[in-house]
Structure 1
Amino acid sequence: MMIMITGGSGSGKSSYAEDCITKISKNCKKYYIATMQVFDEEGKQRIERHKNMRSGKNFKTIEQPCNVENAIEKMDIKDPSKRTVLLECMSNLLANEMFSDETIQDRHMIMDKITDGIRQLKNEVRHLVIVTNNVFEDGTVYDDATMEYIKILGCINERLSEIADQVIEVVVGIPVILKEGM
C-alpha cells in the first residue's frame, strides 16, 4: 500500500505520517528515509525536532538525499513484505535532485527519475508512506528557478497521487482524505 500525505508547513503532516506508518506496519520493520540535507542551524534544529518525534517508535533511519531507490540496498530486512517505509519528504528530494549541479536539471528527466525511484521503492516494501508539501497556494511569484521547482513538485505530486492507494492532506492537524483506496 502507498499513502501520500501532503500539507503546508507546520500542518502536522509529519506527525500524522509517523502515526500512520506505525499503525499499518504491524510485524514489519519500519524505515525512515530522510531526504533533508543540512546547510544551516535551522536545518539542524528541524532534523532534531523530527528525530525527537520519532524517538521510541523503532524507526531505522536511512539518509538518502538523492537517488531514493538506493535506499533499498541499505535495508537490513531482505523480505519486501516485512518492510515499511516513511519517506520524508518529497520537496527536499526534489530540491536535492534538481539543484545538485550548477545548472538546473531538465524538468522531465527529474520527474521521471524521482517517479521511477518511488515506483522501485514501492515495489520493494509492504507499505510506503510519502510526505510531500503543499507549496502552491501563497500566490507569490518567485524567481524562475523557484517557479520551475514549484511546477515540478506539483507534477510529481500528481504522478504520485495516481499510483498511491490513498492521498491525505493534513490541515491544522486534521487529516482530509482526498483519495481513498484499499
Structure 2
Amino acid sequence: MLTLVLGGAASGKSEYAESLVLKTALPRYYLATMQVWDAECAARVEKHRKMRAAKQFKTVECPLHLDAVRLPARGTALLEDLGNLAANELYDPTGAGENAAAAILRGLDLLAAQCENLIVVSNEVFSGGADYAGDTGRYLRALAQVNNAFAARADNVVRVVCGVPVYYKGVEP
C-alpha cells in the first residue's frame, strides 16, 4: 500500500505518518533524508534515531540516490521527507540536479517494490498561491512534480492540517 502524507510546516504530518507505521507489523524502516552538515545536525539525528529505535524502527540513511536503497526484508517503510530529498538531489554536487524529480520517482518505484507499505511524508507546496522565482521556484516545481506523480500512484493521499488528517484519496486504515 502506498500512502502520501502532505502538510505544511508543523502541521503534524510526521507524527501522523509515524502513527500509521506503528499500526503495521515488523519490520519497520525509517528512511532518513536529512544530510548531516555539522555537530548540531549530528546530535539531532542521533536523538531522533534513539526515539525511533524505541518504536522498533530500523533507520536507513538515504539523503541521496533513493534508487540505491535495498531493504533487508519486506515490511513498512516511512520516508521522511520528500522536501529534504528533493533539495539534496537538486543541490548536492553528487545529486541528480535537473533530473531530481525523475530520479526520486524512480527511487520511490524501486522502494515500493520492496515494501508491504510505503508511507511518504512531503511538504505541501503552492497552496499559498505565491509566485516564486529562481532556485526557490525550481525546487518547488521539482517537489510538486514528485508529489503529484506519487499521489497519482498512491492508494491513499492525506493532508494533515493542525494535526487533523483529511483524506483526499483512499481511507484511513
- TM-score normalised to the size of structure 1? 0.83
Going from structure 1 to structure 2, the CA distance change for 1:136 and 1:43 (only over 3 Å counts) comes to farther
Kept in 2, the 8 Å contact 1:18–1:54? The answer is: no
SS in structure 2 opposite 1:124? coil
Match of 1:124 in 2: 114
* TM-superposed deviation, 1:143: 4.6
* TM-superposed deviation, 1:2: 0.5
* TM-superposed deviation, 1:112: 1.3
Count of paired positions: 172
Q: Percent identity?
A: 37
Task: Write the deviation string for residues 57-99 of structure 1: whole angstroms up to 9, x where unpaired.
Answer: 1000011101112221xx333xx3xx21000000100101000
- Asked whether 1:114 is paired with 2:104, we answer yes
Matches within 5 A, 1:170-181: 170-180=160-170
Structure 2 distance, partners of 1:30, 1:99, is 29
Match of 1:36 in 2: 34
Structure 1: give runs of 5+ residues left out of the alignment: none
Once structures 1 and 2 are overlaid, which stretch shifts more, 145-154 or 52-61? 52-61
Going from structure 1 to structure 2, the CA distance change for 1:7 and 1:122 (only over 3 Å counts) comes to same
Match of 1:135 in 2: 125
Task: Write the deviation string for residues 5-47 of structure 1: whole angstroms up to 9, x where unpaired.
Answer: 0100100111100100111x22x30000000113357645754
Q: Which amino acid aligns with 1:144?
A: G
Q: Which amino acid aligns with 2:15?
A: S
Q: Which amino acid aligns with 1:155?
A: Q
Kept in 2, the 8 Å contact 1:33–1:71? The answer is: no
Matches within 5 A, 1:65-104: 65-72=63-70, 75-77=71-73, 80=74, 83-101=75-93
Going from structure 1 to structure 2, the CA distance change for 1:88 and 1:124 (only over 3 Å counts) comes to same
Kept in 1, the 8 Å contact 2:65–2:95? The answer is: no
2:57 paired residue among 35, 56, 59: 59
- Asked whether 1:155 is paired with 2:153, we answer no
RMSD of aligned residue pairs (Cα, Å): 2.4
* TM-superposed deviation, 1:54: 2.8
Going from structure 1 to structure 2, the CA distance change for 1:43 and 1:115 (only over 3 Å counts) comes to same
Going from structure 1 to structure 2, the CA distance change for 1:65 and 1:104 (only over 3 Å counts) comes to closer
Q: Which runs of 4+ in 1 moved over 6 A?
A: none
